[in-house]
Amino acid sequence: MRKYRKENGFMYIDWEMSIGYPGATQEGTAEIELTEIEDKSDLEQNEIISQAIWEDAMQYVDVYPKKTKKTQGE
């Protein structure tokens, strides 16, 4: 279950991600305007919420990893 709160026309969803070992976590809060999810089905709301969390979490991900050693055949 996601932890969230609604204030001033926005929904704030707290999230936490881990890369798999103790202490290696990041936390954040995604923000969605309530008008974006009004009159949507539960499935549509979950997709919008998941996308907002993904976009917020991506600020902590290195999308251009550095090559650290050559692989065989290079």
19-43 pLDDT, tens per residue? 777 888 889 999 999 999 999 999 9
**Local confidence band at 7 (pLDDT 50, 70, 90 cut-offs):** very high
pLDDT of residue 24: 84
37 is written with which tokens?
């999810």
Angle at 31 between CA 30 and CA 35, to 5 degrees: 140
pLDDT of residue 62: 67
Type of residue numbered 66: K
61 is written with which tokens?
């991900």
Closest by CA to 56, choosing from 18, 26, 22, is 26
